[in-house]
Amino acid sequence: MGNCIICGTSVDGEICKSHEEDAVFEFRGTTPSQLTPGRYYRGTVDGYADFGVFIDIGDHVTGLLHRSELDKRLESLDWEPGDEVFVQVLDVRDNGNVDLGWSIRQREREFRGHLVETADDEFLPEEADDDPDGSKTDSEPEPDPEPDSGAEPSASADDTGPSDEASPSTGGAEAVAAESGSVVTESATASAPTTDDVADAEPEAEPALKRTTIDAIENQVGSVVRLEGEITGVRQTSGPTVFELRDETGTVECAAFEEAGVRAYPDVEVEDIVALEGEIERHHGDLQVETETLEILEDEARETVVDRLESAIEREARPADVAPLADHDAVAAVEEEIGDAATAIRRAIMEARPVVVRHAATADGYVAGAAIERAALPLIREKHTREDAEYHYFERRPLEGRVYDMDAATDDVTSMLEARDRHDEQLPLVVLVGTGSTVESADGYELLSLYGAEALVIDDSRADEEIVDAVSAAVAPSVSGADVADLTSTALAANVAAHVNDDVRDDLEHLPAISYWENAPEAYLELATEAGYDETDISERREAVALEAFYQSYKDKRELVADLLFDGNADLAAHVSEQFRDKLETELGTARENRSVQEVDGLTVTVLDTDAFTHRYDFPTTILLLDALHRREREESAATLGIGEDELHVRTTEAIDVRALGNAIAERVPNGGVHVVGGRDGHVEFLPGERDAVHEAALEALGETLA
């Protein structure tokens, strides 16, 4: 019977059940069955496989840390064979396989105790120092060493009585000096400080550390430095508290340890201005500061740092000038807004705020979102020292439809509040691309603003002026009176991205051409040609992205989209685009066989029952199919009408205001629950029970509108 090394309660061993996970164990057994699931063990990296990392637990047992258990991508680990790591044993299977789990604590000092575990016992490491085999025995006192020949035995306290060194007389000091062969003069003895003098003397103050900047610490590993800046994030691990600190040059994580799982410096919160001193280390390849002191700055000291941060952001965030990728009237109409949007994105990156891009789940939306991503990621890697920063501070979340509705906004608010509450993360900048520029999105922006989150819009649609006041920046040429007939969201987003990061401008030049299904402006085609993309390259990438946008449309597919758009993977694009054409042609053939052609006031209208004659949950989407059908039919038809169970989509050879069309239908079918989603370029929704009446009313309204 003993006492728990952590809480002191009586236990049969060295640690109680409730604190087993607070200690790290050194395994000295010989078989997997001797491990205890749930405990944390010290191990060494044995090697990598596609599915995880093999870790040696002691000298005789190897376990697998599966990639699904990691808190980062397997490729992001910088462990080398032989590196010491800490893992948790999750399970020991009947066949001897050992399943391991990730440990966020990767230093022994982050655990509250250290024990040795053998086949049948556990004990403190000190008790095993004299026992290399790991078997614990009762310690016996060692015999006094034999005196060397000629050496005089030392006197014991019993022989000498009180020590001369304790005597206040000078004779004791002289005797000691004489015995050691040195000479002590009277003056030397008199000048020596007394014990009380030494105690009263104040220690010499260490010189204050000079401030350094985060961009300079990479060459100072092992040194203690002083940093000043803003706390942009706090997260509590099962070991240390990790503070994220931003100065005018970048961001770094700073670990502060009180005790395992206990919040260090509890008064320090996000947005506090602080001075921090600590040692620079590398933690799994990332630079990290081991915090020694952390002080909240006030008054003049605080203002000095705030001014320094603000000046740096103002200086770096706004592009020097706006130079569009190519001559394009619609883009030229919003040059100032392009600069504003680029500044907002750059500023968010510098302030360590996450950037969340919400783009339409279409080919145009994915390419536009990827353009922003291409520009932002290098800046994030440059500003943040943690290896996974590009996944932590940038996210694309595809969005169904052209409206940022309350469902999407609620999803974003829920995510950001959870990140704030769990990790003290700052509120994000939400960037809407190819969506969100009409009044139907106003409620979503209002919800964001109630929590202080910022939003901006980049959209080629015919936007509503009310949205300009609802967001921090709106890149919407229609608001400026520009003709947007030959515009895509990618053309706008690529121009914004080029001003977010001028270093990637060359990577973006071919993207606008990819986003046009037809009639791409010549200037963009020339840019693509100069970048090495011919007409086939462009069309294959557009078709490939369109197909991949459909599958798991709620996911960003970051690596796959990058492979298709930027990495010159022509074989991949050709393979996927071939599937696109096969699927589209099959569905298009079915649609043409089942369409009807109707005459309305002298106009020919192609009508497709999308509920009856499309595979609603297979590729292509209804919108993509109607677009393709209209391109095939427009020689004979002025409009293509797709009507489903409760939605109506229209494509016309001349621009039409869908909002006006919806109002006309609503007048004819007042009880049909008719309303328009997505503004002038949107679609009409209605009650399924009034489908036939809406169909007839839509044909009449089209005849009046296009006559």
538-580 residue pLDDT tens: 999 999 999 999 999 999 999 999 999 997 778 999 999 999 9
Distance from C-alpha of 539 to C-alpha of 537, rounded to nearest angstrom: 6
Beta-carbon contacts of residue 142 (< 8 Å; ≥ 6 apart): none
What φ, ψ does residue 376 adopt, rounded to 5°?
A: -80, -40
Bridge-based pairing state of the strands 454-458 and 429-433: parallel
In this prediction, residue 164 has a pLDDT band, given cuts at 50, 70 and 90, of very low
In this prediction, residue 170 has a pLDDT band, given cuts at 50, 70 and 90, of very low
Mean pLDDT of the chain: 86
Specify the pLDDT at position 128: 59
Q: Token pair of 440, please?
A: 């139907």
Beta-carbon contacts of residue 17 (< 8 Å; ≥ 6 apart): none
Q: Token pair of 561, please?
A: 């989209």
Specify the pLDDT at position 206: 52
- Asked whether residue 342 carries a pLDDT value surpassing 60, the answer given is yes
Find the mean pLDDT for residues 62-77. Answer: 84
Proportion of the chain above pLDDT 90, given as a percent: 61
Q: Token pair of 244, please?
A: 């994220």
- Asked whether residue 425 carries a pLDDT value surpassing 90, the answer given is no
Q: Would you call 542 exposed, middle or buried from its count of C-beta atoms within 10 A (0-12, 13-18, 19+)?
A: buried
Distance from C-alpha of 557 to C-alpha of 544, rounded to nearest angstrom: 13
Specify the pLDDT at position 179: 35
Give which of 44, 37, 35 is closest to 21, Cα–Cα.
37
Distance from C-alpha of 246 to C-alpha of 254, rounded to nearest angstrom: 11
Query: Cα Rg for the chain, rounded, in angstroms?
Result: 36
Specify the pLDDT at position 207: 57
Supply angle C-alpha 671, 676, 681, rounded to 5.
Answer: 155
Q: Would you call 600 exposed, middle or buried from its count of C-beta atoms within 10 A (0-12, 13-18, 19+)?
A: buried
Which DSSP symbol is given to 477? G
Give which of 506, 570, 561 is closest to 538, Cα–Cα.
570
Q: Token pair of 174, please?
A: 């002289």
Distance from C-alpha of 157 to C-alpha of 161, rounded to nearest angstrom: 6
Alpha helix (H) ranges present in 193-274? 195-200
187-223 residue pLDDT tens: 333 334 444 444 455 555 555 688 999 988 988 888 8
101-125 residue pLDDT tens: 999 888 888 888 899 999 888 888 8
Q: For residue 81, say if its preceding peptide bond is cis, omega within 30 degrees of 0.
A: no
Which DSSP symbol is given to 148? P
SS3 631: helix
Find the mean pLDDT for residues 479-495. Answer: 96
Q: Which of 129-133, 187-191, 403-407, 575-579 has the lowest mean pLDDT?
A: 187-191
Distance from C-alpha of 155 to C-alpha of 170, rounded to nearest angstrom: 21
378-396 residue pLDDT tens: 999 988 877 778 888 999 9
Find the mean pLDDT for residues 401-425. Answer: 90
Distance from C-alpha of 162 to C-alpha of 47, rounded to nearest angstrom: 63
In 205-335, DSSP assigns E strands to 224-236, 241-246, 251-256, 273-283, 286-296
HSE-up of residue 199 (Cα within 13 Å, Cβ side) = 3
Q: Token pair of 676, please?
A: 């328009």
Residues linked to residue 57 through DSSP beta bridges, in sequence order: 61
Give which of 214, 509, 542 is closest to 364, Cα–Cα.
542
Specify the pLDDT at position 104: 87
Specify the pLDDT at position 203: 52
Which domains occur in the chain, in start order? 2-128 (2.40.50.140), 214-315 (2.40.50.140), 318-529 (3.90.1640.30), 595-706 (3.10.310.40)
In this prediction, residue 362 has a pLDDT band, given cuts at 50, 70 and 90, of very high
Specify the pLDDT at position 498: 97
235-283 residue pLDDT tens: 888 889 999 999 988 899 999 998 888 999 999 999 999 999 999 998 7
Global pTM reads 0.65
- Asked whether residue 698 carries a pLDDT value surpassing 80, the answer given is yes
SS3 236: strand
Q: Token pair of 560, please?
A: 């796959």
Find the mean pLDDT for residues 419-431. Answer: 87
Give which of 632, 595, 588 is closest to 612, Cα–Cα.
595
